Amino acid sequence: MGLYVDFAQALRHQSRYVPQDSSSIYAAEENESIQHQLDLGLDFRVSIHNDRVASDLHNVIFLSGNRVGPNLLTYQPLLGFMWSNKFHFTGSETEPGLSFLTDLNFYFAKKNGVKVFNSHDGLGGTKREIYLSYGLRYTTESKTAYTIRTYGFNNLNRGASTMAPSGFKDGLSIGIVKPF
């Protein structure tokens, strides 16, 4: 468990939106992604590690920085929350075995030139992103790790729809890590 100062980076740098309703007052904003840039922030981290569970919770408060979307709109980063877990079904952190992986990242930024809260739609002056990932990892005796993960990335600026969020980018990843 600890508190330390760190440079915080973007949680995710890809987003794709296919407008369902081009008449939305936010249609242009929903089509942008946050670019991968370096910002200065405070990262408050709490870690719990034992033989069966490894869990890290980060709360990032951005002190300065700037993000530019592909449509050249800029955002001031405000907050980030990252929660990573590894649950060992067999083995442990140092022994081979099967593990279940989860990651949840939330990113919150302010649009330049507007207030964070407004009377039109509450948090209309913000850009919010969420990234969720689940996976399995099997580590062998030779420390080779085989991983399969599913992930979902969602830009939470929804446009006119409050029922069906738009902007999901889901996928599957397969990886092999071989230490040298």
Q: List the chain domain ranges.
A: 2-177
pLDDT (tens digit, 9 = 90+) per residue, 100-124? 999 998 888 887 777 776 666 566 6
Q: Could you tell me which of 134, 70, 82, 84 has the C-alpha nearest to residue 108?
A: 82
Residue 83 confidence (pLDDT): 92
CA dist., res. 177 & res. 150, Å (int): 17
Specify the higher pLDDT residue, 164 or 127. 127
Average pLDDT for residues 134-144, to the nearest whole number? 92
Reported as a pLDDT band with limits 50, 70 and 90, residue 180 is confident
CA 72 from chain center: how many Å? 21
- pTM score: 0.62
Residue 137 confidence (pLDDT): 94
Per residue, the 3-state secondary structure of the chain, as one string, reads CEEEEEEEECCCCCCCCCCCCCCCCCHHHHCCCCCCCEEEEEEEEEEEECCCEEEEEEEEEEEECCEECCCCCEEEEEEEEEEEEEEECCCCCCCCEEEEEEEEEEEEEEECCCCCCECCCECCCEEEEEEEEEEEEEECCCCCEEEEEEEEEEECCCCCCCCCCCCCEEEEEEEEECCC
Residue 118 confidence (pLDDT): 64
Average pLDDT for residues 41-65, to the nearest whole number? 83
Residue 112 confidence (pLDDT): 73
Q: Which residues contact 157 (CB under 8 A, 6 or more apart)?
A: 26, 29, 30, 127, 128, 167
Q: What percent of the chain has pLDDT over 70?
A: 59
CA dist., res. 58 & res. 42, Å (int): 10
pLDDT (tens digit, 9 = 90+) per residue, 162-176? 455 455 567 788 999
